[in-house]
Amino acid sequence: MGNVNKNIEEAARATAYVMERHEEIKNNPLRQKYHFEVPAGWCNDPNGFSILGGKYHLFYQHMPYVSEPGDYKMYWGHAVSENLVDWEDLPVALAPVDECDEGGCWSGCALELDQKVYLMYTGLDARNGMQQGQCMAVSDDGIHFTKTEDSPILADTLCEADKKDFRDPYIWRQNGEWNMILGSTKDHFAQALLYRSNDLKNWRFINTMAESLGELGSVCECPNFFEIGGKYILFISPHGLNLRKSVYLTGNFDYPAGKFFWDTYGEIDWGMDYYAPQVIKDGNGRCIMIGWMNSWNWMPWCDGTYYTSKMGWCGGMALPRELRLDELGRLHFEPVQELKNYRTEPAEMVSETAGEEGISIETADNSHCEMIIDFNLKGTTAEIIQLEVKSNEKEKVLVNLNLKLGEIEFDRSHTFDHLKSKRRCSFRSVSETACRIHVFIDSASVELFTDDYMTCMTNTVYVPENADRIKIRGIGGRVKILKVQSWAIKKN
């Protein structure tokens, strides 16, 4: 492999460049206030989301020198947090400077073993037509990584699956063995492949753990596999599944056969900007999920141009969420409790009604806030409950709760989004007598939670700095508002 320190040298150079650029852009009004955001350059999928040395670590796909995906020759960025909200940028961890990964250090995972930190990732091999293979890097301090001489340690699927789409390792320990799931495809049908090892280096193929017959798309990306309450859950981010982009399956896992039998299928987030989530179990037993808040150009609402790229950065993460599994095998995704520590200046409004003229909501900071809104659906005559946020009347975001059709529509067509995008999903609460929506607004995003946190919509939003009005209105009748609780969110 040559000089094993090439990675450390290039990572240091990239880090210096990124932090210098960060000083130039850090005060831009479109920079997020309480979400993780790349300090400069480009970021996409979370990688190696883990607890190392008692702290939360977030690695991520990163382009330090440009603020768009470019040629996908990815590095790994790195940040650390004690509370999932305050993130400290650490030096770049991986750079695509070796033959095994010269085409890019793509997604993967991290684990701690014998006081060392290991990164397993997909490298694009320059010696073999940019063939995807699974590589390893190791660190004594969890910051500076050296790639192993034998990378790629798994260069072949060892089965009939496509070797060109063979990526995104996720590793866990079970029954005294290391288990690794990889995303792939066969005959244009997505597959999740299972491997096992005793030493993290010598892997044997076990089975096609799950495969698509059309319902899981054409390629499986970024698989995660974990257990909650006696049920196993598989996350995948599929290609070729039209409007679906991150899905979960719940079911049972036969360990000897290496086969996952799923019986529940759901969407992780119905917004336009949520992809490739990763999950950890923390010291309190919580399953915590984090996902990329942006889109790829193969999604119908994205053409590969990104609004903040021209300003020197693009990409960040949605709010971390705690997962809960109900008795029907459905997942609920609730923002982590740590966010409550950043609430300031609480306000409350009770027992109001609104028609098409609307009623204004005032928080201490309408551009960086949290709202919990309860509606009396039984007492509402409106066909649509409309929430207008990030508004100066010309530019605005509209969230339409359509009680007649049982749908939610997120409409950012009145913003700087040149594709004039809208996104719809089912609204389960329409059959109830009351409903709650939970909304987080930051400089360049709106995240909506409802249906007891089963339905999430995450979206980036770009509007002028003066677009900060919030209003609730009833369309085609009046809406009965039980309570609005709001807080400004401020970090120290």
- Active site (catalytic) residues: 45
Report which of 182, 189, 245, 235 is spatially closest to residue 213, judged by C-alpha positions. Answer: 189
The SS3 of residue 315 is coil
Question: Cβ distance 452 to 324 under 8 Å?
Answer: no
DSSP state, 127?
A: G
- Cα separation of 276 and 316, whole Å? 12
Nearest by Cα to 214 from 196, 232, 194, 241: 241
State the Cα–Cα distance between residues 295 and 59, nearest whole angstrom.
18
Task: State the amino acid at position 77 in one-letter form.
Answer: G
Within 377-420, strands assigned E span: 384-391, 396-402, 407-414
Q: Which amino acid is at 458?
A: T
Q: What is the side-by-side strand order in the sheet with 384-391?
A: 359-361, 469-475, 384-391, 396-402, 407-414, 422-426
**Residue 199 CB burial class (10 angstroms; 0-12, 13-18, ≥19):** exposed
- Sheet of strand 75-81: strand arrangement: 88-94, 75-81, 55-63, 41-52, 313-314
Neighbours of 54 (CB within 10 A): 7
The DSSP call for residue 154 is B
Q: How many residues does the chain have?
A: 492
Helix (H) or strand (E) holding 349: strand 343-354
209-231: b or e for each residue (b if 16 or more CB lie within 10 Å)?
Answer: bbbbeeebbbbbbbbbbbebeeb
Work out whether the CA dihedral 358, 359, 364, 368 comes out positive or negative: negative
Residue type, 316: G
